[in-house]
Structure formats: C-alpha cells, structure tokens
Amino acid sequence: MHTIYTDRHHGHATENLVINGQPIESRETPARAEAILAAVRAAQLGPILAPTDHGLAPIRAVHDADFVMYLRTAYAQSAAYFGEARPVIAGRNDVTSERAPSCPEDFPGRRDYYTYDYEDPILEMTWDAAYWSAQCALTAADLVRAGERAAYALCRPPGHHAMPDQYGGFCYLNNVAIAARSLQADGPVAILDIDYHHGNGTQAIFYADPAALFCSLHADPDFVYPFFWGRADERGAGAGLGLNHNWPLPLHMDDVAYLVVLDEALHVIADFAPRYLLVSLGLDAAEGDLIGKFRITTQGFREIGRRIAALRFPTVIVQEGGYRLDTLGDNAVTFLRAFEG
C-alpha cells in the first residue's frame, strides 16, 4: 500500500492560534497527520511518496473558479482591508445554510460569503496546505488508475465538508471529490464516506451527477454537525436522483450496529458496480474520539476495512477526520492493512 504525504500541511498551523485576542483551540492540528504517518512508518505499510503537482485544473473541475481565487488570496485581501496581517475567520457565530444571493464587494462580505461555518481560519499558508492536500488525493488516484489495487492519501487539511464554493468543517478543498472527478474520465465512481460527520460537501458536488454514487454513514445531523445536511431523504437530483444515500445514525453506535448498516451501503455500491471506489476515511467514529461519539474499536475498523476491501474495486482511500491522537495511527493502519493482498 502506497501512502501519499507531504509535510506542507504544517503551514496550516492551527495549534496555539489567537484570533481577535482570543485563544482558539482547534482539534484539527498537524499532530493528527503526524500520528498517522508515524504509525504507517512503524507498521512498514509500504512506500511513502510525495504528491505530484497536477496544477489547478482538477481543483477547478470541482470548485467554482471565484471561490478558488478567494481561497488563494483571502489572507492578503484581509491584510489589505484591515491594514494588518491576521487569520481570516468568519464574522458569524454559527453554522448556516442561508446565503446571500451574490458575493458582496467588500472584504468582510466576501469572507462570510465563502464559508458556511464560523471557526475555520485561513492562515498565511492555508491555501498552500489545502492545495497540496488535494494533490495527495490526485496522486493516490493516479496510482490506482495505473493498476494499484488501492492507495492511501494522507490528506490534511481534510476535505469532505468543502462545497463547490464554500468551505467549512476544517475543510477547504474537497480532496476526495477532486480525486473522484479526475477518475470519472475512466467511468463511474462510488464514494463511501465513513467519517463520523456527514460529507455534505461531497454530496453537494455530486448531487445531480449520474456517474457518481455517494454513500455516507454518519451521526444524525439533528444533533451533530453539519446540521443542515445528511438526512435520509436527500436522494440526489435530476440525472443523479437515487444515487445519493445517507444513513443518519444514532449517537453511541458500536461495532456490531455499525457493521449492519455498513453492509447496506456496501450492497448499494456493489449494485452500482463503479469503475473505482473512493473512501472518505474519517476515524472520528472511533471509541473515545474527542469530537465523535460512536464507539468503533480498532477491531471494528479492521472489519470495516475487510468488508470494503472484499468488494474488490480499485480503491482510493482519502483521510478525513479523526481526533483521538493516541489511537488514530493504529486505527488507520489497521483499516489500511485490509487492502493488502
């Protein structure tokens, strides 16, 4: 199993942030990716490769061009507007599904237009980190397209909450969607999202796409982020109607209950028979996660991996969430080992 990784995510330095005089504690820190990388190395899972640069075109194939330009320039725009360089963060205090009909001209309006969230900073190097995170997913996709049975993109920042033209939930560019869109050149793709949270960005990107199946198992959005998306009656639209499947789940799911639902999703994927499968591998469903409330054990992740791998589709695995640092690496490696052989 090849792992694609770059340390450029360090520039998105979310630890010890102070914004508007307030210390901000983010769970989405560089230490997450480092913990997984250390476990991949210790387990000798396989080669660790740097991503190759695919440029902006595959990113723009998923994200709105103005949004991409905003992400690239927001830090500098903010410094010019406010007269000082400082982290960019939304002016609102909550998640919102409402949006202005068009993008305002002045910077605070633009800033709030391009995020539905309120707590994800854009730092000086955030664009660089997000860009290279997407390149990790694209490079993993290249390996699978070239015949590897599976490849693992150790992405940070994560991606599945990033919409076509809004960021949120620690996600700026939708890594799995960018990889999936590039693979669609060869045929239809399926995306299985097992992060604790609904993959609302991925859903939005492929909602009307007849060549992409999206299946997401996640905590019920009546109680859990992202709140406004992820319900079972969101089934797709237009030519993609029927290809969006959500399993909103009660909190405190354990291995046994989770695997029953996973099997339903795997049946849907097997029936669709995609050319490629992509997995949004959130590990925040783990027991004791600092954000998630499910209780999936390391043995549970082994079995989840085994059942997904048993489908035998060429598979791109893209890292999403996961916040309990002492088990994160073990859970990742245990899941990935299922794809060996």
Binding to Zn ion, residues 257-276 (CB under 5 A): none
Q: Which stretch in 66-74, 79-87, 282-290, 305-313 sits in contact with Zn ion by CB under 5 A? A: 282-290
Catalytic residue among 161, 197, 198, 245: 161
Q: Tell me, residue by residue from 172 to 201, as one string, x for binding to Zn ion by CB under 5 A and - for no binding.
A: -----------------------xxx----
| Interface with Zn ion, residue 142, by CB under 5 A | no
Q: Long-range contacts: 9-12, Cβ < 8 Å, 24+?
A: 9/33, 9/129, 9/132, 9/133, 9/156, 9/157, 10/129, 11/123, 11/124, 11/125, 11/126, 11/128, 11/129, 12/123, 12/125, 12/126, 12/128, 12/129, 12/130, 12/156, 12/157
| Interface with Zn ion, residue 168, by CB under 5 A | no
Bridge partners (DSSP) listed for residue 319: 281
| Interface with Zn ion, residue 282, by CB under 5 A | yes
User: Measured from the CB atom, is 120 or 195 closer to Zn ion?
Assistant: 195
Give the dihedral sign, CA 36/40/41/42: positive
- Beta strand 17-19 with 22-24 is antiparallel
CA distance 133 to 219: 25
Binding to Zn ion, residues 14-53 (CB under 5 A): none
User: Measured from the CB atom, is 166 or 216 closer to Zn ion?
Assistant: 216
- Number of amino acids touching Zn ion (CB under 5 A): 6
CA distance 284 to 274: 26
Quote the least distance from Cβ 299 to Zn ion, whole Å: 21
Q: Tell me, residue by residue from 295 to 334, as one string, x for binding to Zn ion by CB under 5 A and - for no binding.
A: --------------------------x-------------
CA distance 44 to 38: 10
User: Is residue 198 annotated as a catalytic residue, yes or no?
Assistant: no
Residue nearest to Zn ion (CB): 321
Quote the least distance from Cβ 161 to Zn ion, whole Å: 8
- E strands, 50-158, where? 150-153
Collapsing DSSP to helix, strand or coil, 44 comes out as coil
Show the CA angle centred on residue 32, arms to residues 29 and 36, nearest 5°.
Answer: 160
User: Measured from the CB atom, is 201 or 282 closer to Zn ion?
Assistant: 282
| Interface with Zn ion, residue 284, by CB under 5 A | yes
User: Measured from the CB atom, is 143 or 291 closer to Zn ion?
Assistant: 291
Quote the least distance from Cβ 201 to Zn ion, whole Å: 12
Q: Which 8-state DSSP code applies to residue 203?
A: H
Q: Which residues have a catalytic role annotated?
A: 161
* Contact set with Zn ion (CB under 5 A): 195-197, 282, 284, 321
